[in-house]
Amino acid sequence: MHKRKRTRKIDVGDVSLGGKSPIRVQSMTKTDTTDVKATVEQIRRLELAGCEMVRVAVPDEDAVSVLGEIKRSIHIPLIADVHFKHSLALNALDQGVDKIRINPGNIGSRDRIRLIVEKARDKNVPIRVGVNAGSLESGILAYYGGPTAEALAESALVHTTYLEDIGFNNIVVSIKSSDIGTAVRAYEIYANKFHYPLHVGITAAGTLLPGSIRSSVGIGIMLSEGLGDTIRVSLTSDPVDEVRVAYEILRSLGLRQRGPMILACPTCGRCEIDVIQLAENVQKRLESVETPLKIAVMGCVVNGPGEAREADVGVAGGKGEGVVFVSGKPVKKVPELSLLDALIEQVQKMGDRSI
Per-residue confidence band for 350, with pLDDT thresholds at 50, 70 and 90: confident
> Is the domain 261-349 a CATH 3.20.190.10 member?
no
Per-residue confidence band for 300, with pLDDT thresholds at 50, 70 and 90: confident
- Listed residue (210, 187, 10) closest to 100, CA to CA: 10
Provide the pLDDT for residue 339: 92
Does 291 score more than 90 pLDDT?
Answer: no
- Listed residue (107, 105, 106, 92) closest to 61, CA to CA: 92
Same fold, 10-252 and 261-349: no
Provide the pLDDT for residue 192: 96
Does 266 score more than 60 pLDDT?
Answer: yes
Residue 283 φ/ψ, nearest 5 degrees: -55, -45
Phi-psi region of 349 (alpha: psi -120 to 50; beta: other; left: phi over 0): alpha
Per-residue confidence band for 320, with pLDDT thresholds at 50, 70 and 90: confident
What integer best gives the mean pLDDT of the chain? Answer: 93
Q: Burial letters for 14-42: b for 16+ Cβ neighbours within 10 Å, e otherwise?
A: ebbbbeebebbbbbbbbbebeeeeebbeb
Q: What is the CATH number of domain 10-252?
A: 3.20.20.20
Could you state, in order of their start, the residue ranges of all structural domains in the chain?
10-252, 261-349
pLDDT, mean of residues 262-272: 86
pTM of the model: 0.91
Convert the pLDDT of each residue in 121-145 to its tens digit.
999 999 999 999 998 999 999 999 9
Convert the pLDDT of each residue in 214-264 to its tens digit.
999 999 999 999 999 999 999 999 999 999 999 999 999 999 988 888 989
- Percent above pLDDT 70 for the chain: 98
